[in-house]
Amino acid sequence: MAEEVVQVNHRHLVLTIDEGLREIFERNRFLLKEFMDEAVRIVQEYFKKKYKVPLELLLVCIHLVRG
């Protein structure tokens, strides 16, 4: 099974929502998608400008944790 896994260089990027804004996102869940879409757009734009490399694939997930 290990030989079937494709080795890919990758980086993790974690974006957090300030505790003061969490209530807004909890009441307006649709804003989470807009937040993620904008985060993807910003990261893609950064790599395109700085490294002249288009990013074809970004995996974005939300992990909501209440502490």
State how far the Cα of 67 lies from the Cα of 51, in Å rounded to an integer: 38
Q: Which residue has the higher pLDDT, 24 or 59?
A: 24
Angle at 57 between CA 51 and CA 58, to 5 degrees: 90
Please say if the pLDDT value at position 18 is more than 90: no
- In this structure, is the dihedral angle defined by the CA atoms of residues 13, 17, 38 and 59, taken in order, positive or negative? positive
Q: What is the pLDDT of residue 2?
A: 60
- What is residue 6's DSSP assignment? P
> Is the overall model pTM greater than 0.85, yes or no?
no
**Phi, psi (5° rounding) for residue 60?**
-120, 130
